[in-house]
Amino acid sequence: MTYTTTPQHKIGSGFGARSTTDDVLSDTDLTGKLAVVTGGYVGLGLETTRALTRAGARVVVPARRREVAEKAVGGVDGVEVDGLDLADLDSVRDFADRFLASGRDIDIVVNNAGIMACPETRVGPAGWEAQFATNHLGHFALVNRLWAPIARGGGRVVSVSSRGHHLSDIRWNDIHFELGPYDKWAAYGQAKTANVLFAIHLDALGRESGVRAFALHPGEILTELVRHTPREEMIERGWIDENGNVSEGFKTPEQGAATQVWAATSAQLDGMGGVYCEDCDIAEPAPPNDDSWVGVRDYATDSAQAARLWAVSADLTGVNAA
């Protein structure tokens, strides 16, 4: 079967880098819709949960730190919290089984939870590299286990990537950093590239069932995601100055969550999918040999690479609804 995807070019959405979740949802009624937002209780996930519920959706928040999640969103009307550790495939299976038993359809999945630039950490019985395992493999297994209700709902699956994908292609010969020294930023970059490739292939597989998938860069936002980055490194990277003031180029959480909310709900994207977005629009391809970090690298939208990663991920997780 030959698949085609939406052109990787801007559509002129009318929104931009400073648009907020309220801006992109101003004319949207999500009453009767059900969304699953991983990590939907902190940072961009919390803003996503709040925005979707304000528009009328019910939101299921799978959370590794369930007590923290209950405190953050447990009292919000339309939100339910359940336990899920993306680094533990048994936990993913158990959450999915509980959800499947409810018999509900899924309209929106936002694969939002993740970790960034953490010290070398091994998870699972095979000792997988934690960023690839958590950011990619856990979400891969989750979506595949929830495939039936997603397909019944003709759902949109949104994969929260990052311009960090510019840091690394997939390290096909050493995905889990077993053969050489560990590089926390290369590991993060690889995981974010995997997030894009996952959406590309999922969209190709799901299109006939009415399932569409998108990946995105939310922008630079100072959230709990930076917890593994020392203050000195944040200063060196220009995220904050020596007095702790955040860079003027950074977005607020409401602005940062806008692109994933737009990708999950916008009628402007009806009939589209399999593309990478930024600033509430489809992104342009990154120019070759350009170091501006704008747009999407061609290796992250390569359909052959996406299919290869899907096969590797299915083999590693033992789950493949396709």
Give the residue numbers annotated as catalytic, written as ranges: 188
β-bridge pairing 58-63 and 79-83: parallel
Catalogue the E-assigned strands of 132-254: 156-160, 212-217
Phi, psi dihedral angles at 200 (to 5 degrees): -60, -50
Distances (CA, A) of 291 to 161, 167, 286: 18, 10, 9
d(Cα 277, Cα 264) in Å, to the nearest integer? 11
d(Cα 23, Cα 251) in Å, to the nearest integer? 15
Say which residues have a Cβ less than 8 Å from residue 120's Cβ, sequence separation at least 6: 129, 130, 177, 182, 184
Q: Which amino acid is at 64?
A: R
Of 159, 237, 145, which Cα lies nearest the Cα of 192? 159
Distances (CA, A) of 8 to 51, 165, 168, 273: 27, 16, 20, 10
Token duo for residue 201: 């292939």
Task: Specify burial of residue 134 (Cβ count, 10 A radius: 0-12, 13-18, 19+).
Answer: buried
Catalogue the E-assigned strands of the chain: 34-37, 58-63, 79-83, 108-111, 122-123, 128-129, 156-160, 212-217, 275-278, 281-282
Task: Provide the CA 267 distance to its chain's centre, in angstroms.
Answer: 20
